[in-house]
Amino acid sequence: MRTILIVLTMIFINTGLQAQTFKEWFRQKKTQKKYLIEQIAQLKIYLELTEKGYKIAKEGLTMIGDLKRGEFKLHKNYFDSLKVVNPKIAGLPKVKWIGTFYGEVKSVCSSCISKLGQSGYLTNDELAYLRSVFDRVTADSDQIQAAVKEITSDGNLAMTDNERLKRIDGLYDQILFNYTFSKAFCNESAVLAAARMKEKEDVVTGRQLHGAN
């Protein structure tokens, strides 16, 4: 009987301990579950904030990209607008005069070489030098004429009106110099040829006079 009581007592004690242990385990599990729920909630908030921050950053980058593209478009539009020539510039008197002087330079150089070559009063070396000078003048005048066409035509050069005017003024001065120089050089060469012709005529006349005497 005593033995049975001892056994029952031990069972009750053990059962109490197990009940206490289970209660403690359940309490710990409940605490862990609560902690886990809190962690999940914090993680959810963190993910939401991260996603929101990423969205803001993405929108910011998109806005910056749009601004840059817009700025580039403005620059491009402005740059393209500079390639459109003001009709008043294309119709300037100096532009027409450049074309006129260009034609005169070509005419002077061509006719001068032809006439002096046929005269027979210039040596071959002198004629070769004359041609080389006129070739350079003609080539430079060709470049001037091409530059004027480029400046006064749309889609070629991005320049302001003032820049085009300044460039046209410079080209006008160049072609005017070429025209003045070509005429002066041709006249000097013609004077040389005329002097030799006069000298030859004087010799012939002198011989005739001496022969007559």
pLDDT for 128: 94
Please check the confidence at residue 102 and state whether its pLDDT lies above 70. Answer: yes
Render 179-193 in DSSP notation, one character per residue: HHHHHHHHHHHHHHH
pLDDT of residue 200: 80
Query: What is the radius of gyration, based on Cα positions, of the chain?
Result: 52
What gap in Å lies between CA 207 and CA 201, rounded to an integer? Answer: 10
**At which residue do the structure tokens 């605490």 appear?**
31
At 30-48, the pLDDT tens digits run 666 565 566 666 666 656 6
Q: Give 132-175 pLDDT, tens digit per residue.
A: 999 999 999 999 999 999 999 888 888 889 999 999 999 999 99
Distance CA 203, CA 213 (A): 15
Residue extents of the structural domains in the chain: 1-81, 86-212
Residue 23 tokens read as 């209660």
H helices of 85-160, where? 87-90, 93-119, 124-151
Tokens of 9: 């007592």
pLDDT, tens digit (0-9, with 9 covering 90-100), for 8-29: 455 444 555 444 554 554 455 5
- Whole-angstrom Cα distance, residue 27 to residue 11? 24
What's the rounded mean pLDDT across residues 91-113? 95
